[in-house]
Amino acid sequence: MLSVVYGSTLIFSLLFAAAYIYIWHKHFDVNFTMIFTLVPIACVGYFLLSIANDLGGAITATQVIYVGGCFLQLFIVFSIFNLCKIDVNKKIRTAMFGVCAVMYAAVLTLRSNTLFYKSYSVKKVDDALVLVKEYGPMHTMFYVVLGILFFTGLITLIYAWFKKKEAPRRVLTLLVLPDILCILGYVVSRFFDVGNLELVPVGFCIAEFIYLLIAYRVNLYDVGDTVIDSLVHKEAIGYISFDFEYRLLGSNDVAKILVPELNNHAVDDMFGYKPSERKIRHFLEAFKNDNGANKYLYTIRDDDSNPDNDRYYDVEVSYLYDGNRKRGYIVTFTDDTENKKYIKLLDNYNEDLKNEVGEKTKHIVQMHDNLIMSLAMMVESRDNSTGGHIKRTSEGVRILIDEIMKEGELKLDPEFCKNVIKAAPMHDLGKIAVDDAILRKPGRFEPEEFEKMKAHAAEGAKVIHEILLNTDDERFKVIAENVAHYHHERYDGSGYPEGIKGEDIPLEARIMAIADVYDALVSKRVYKDAFSFEKADSIIMEGMGTQFDPKLKTAYENARPRLEEYYSKM
């Protein structure tokens, strides 16, 4: 009978652990992982105890059980600290762990001393062995430590409920149960007559299930791994996240300034019912009814009623994702005051305005260029083998073009040179369409994987075409598309994606190809070490006329010392 009960708790504990692994996220608290590890270990011990046929087996099973007994409550308390946003000194955490480790050391040595059990023996009850023991001083310490940990966790939860608005209310409610259940299992089993049955593993399994619910919920309170995370550090952008019932999940400091009512709400509070909050609720309702209606204007009026001091924010509502699952809504505020004022100035066009228009245009171009560079760096950050590739290849293109201009054989106008250098960081944008499993593979590609990787050239041209669709600079648009599309073509026609050859390959792509390959050769990748400058030069020179345009040979030779100097400093 006992083996059936304990075997069932073992199976359930493993199922819950498997479910945790399935929903695991890199931002999960490490204490969660320890809890989902310790519960199955303890359940294994109880099962082994139920099938033990001698004293030695019973003692070994008991030692396995106390892995969970000595450490589980500790990691529950640690998880409570973290979820309640309470920072505990590392020395205190280490000391708490050390006390639990000392207790378990006594368990491990109970065969050789009387610290944990003064004496022990086994007797047979209902066809099962029962360990009969007389407790020693370390076992008393075990109860004291469990009691201290229990009340520490409980007091922390009560404190967080009243003092920590950023602590999620639903999670605080759920956390009370595992803290109580684990202790309750010990108390009932030790001080009440329940036969030979230990209720501790049952309590462990229920606690594990509750932590599974907490783990599933806790990701909603952290959008740090979404794309928005890279934007919220900018002071001009605010965000608020809600679940589908319009409960507040979180916001950043910018949003709290724009929507002061957020300061009066705790996490998990309903939002949008007060008159001052209805505008945000209107945004959410409109988006819920029509996903296409997701862009709005939000105006902050100045206290002195001077319209020139008003602030204007573009508001966008979108779904909040957890992996591929829609879990709520996110409202993003982007400061658009400068653009709105710019438009207003255009309506009152005059001579003084012409200078200001020039400055605003320059600012917009800079913003556009920064956006493109940010996008390129974001794409590069997904590729674990090309860190810094964008910066290095851009400098390589700059050096090559400088030497081409000095040589004078190819007549390049300054605007063309400027555009090629500006387009160089965009050459690998197409990798945004490549699957992470391929892009981040820690080794060489299989043939079918390489075929998928090759698609990034054509995809890059498409992405750039869409980004620059409405640009007035048509010449830059064409050059940028060509750099992305054709930088893997070879002069002899054996490249990809089109297999074109010779001067059918745009000049900007032929220049980009040399800088791209040179960087790949002299840089360390996950599948190779960096080549020496001499070996890289030998490969480049050997490729002149087959892989690279032979007309660029002299310019490359002249650029080589500068390239080596640059890479030596990197």
- SS3 for 248-316 is EEEECHHHHHHCHHHHHCCCCCECCCCHHHHHHHHHHHHHHHCCCCCEEEEEECCCCCCHHHCEEEEEE
Question: Which element (helix H / strand E) includes 240?
Answer: strand 237-243
Q: Which CATH superfamily is 227-348 part of?
A: PAS domain (3.30.450.20)
Tens place of pLDDT per residue across the chain (570 aa): 678 888 999 999 999 999 999 988 776 788 889 999 999 999 999 899 888 888 889 899 999 999 988 998 899 899 888 888 888 899 999 999 999 999 999 999 988 889 999 998 888 766 667 788 888 999 999 989 988 998 898 898 888 888 888 777 888 888 777 767 767 766 665 665 455 667 788 888 888 888 888 888 776 665 444 444 555 455 568 889 999 999 999 888 888 888 889 988 999 888 888 877 888 888 999 999 888 878 888 888 766 566 677 888 889 999 998 767 899 999 999 888 888 777 766 666 555 556 665 566 566 566 666 666 667 677 666 665 555 788 888 899 999 999 999 888 888 888 999 999 988 888 888 888 888 778 777 777 788 888 888 888 899 889 888 888 777 788 888 999 999 999 999 999 999 999 999 999 999 999 999 999 999 899 887 777 889 999 999 999 999 999 999 999 999 999 999 999 998 887
pTM of the model: 0.45
Q: What is the DSSP string of 342-394?
A: HHHHHHT--HHHHHHHHHHHHHHHHHHHHHHHHHHHHHHHT-TT-TTHHHHHH
Per the structure block, which two tokens stand in for 393? 């290849």
Looking at residue 122, its pLDDT comes to 81
d(CA 58, CA 129): 8
Query: Phi-psi bin for 328: left (phi > 0), alpha (psi -120 to 50), beta?
Result: left
Residue 472's contacts (CB-CB under 8 Å, 6 or more residues apart) are none
Fold exhibited by the domain 2-220: Rhopdopsin 7-helix transmembrane proteins (1.20.1070)
How confident is the model at residue 228, as a pLDDT? 46
How far apart CA 541 and CA 548 sit, in angstroms, is 9
Strand order in the sheet with 237-243: 248-251, 237-243, 325-335, 311-322, 295-300
Strands in 114-236 per DSSP E: 117-125, 128-135
Q: What values do phi and psi take at 336, rounded to 5?
A: -120, 20
Distances (CA, A) of 569 to 283, 389, 521, 563: 52, 15, 16, 10
Question: In this structure, are strands 128-135 and 117-125 parallel, antiparallel, or unpaired?
Answer: antiparallel
Cα angle vertex 420, ends 419, 424, to 5°? 120
Q: Tokens representing 515?
A: 């800088």
Query: Dihedral of the CA atoms 501, 507, 510, 511 (nearest 10)?
Result: 170
Q: What stretches of 436-566 adopt beta strand conformation (E)?
A: none
Residue located via tokens 């949003």: 255
Architecture in CATH for domain 361-569: Orthogonal Bundle (1.10)
Residue extents of the structural domains in the chain: 2-220, 227-348, 361-569
Distance CA 438, CA 450 (A): 8
pLDDT the model gives residue 417: 92
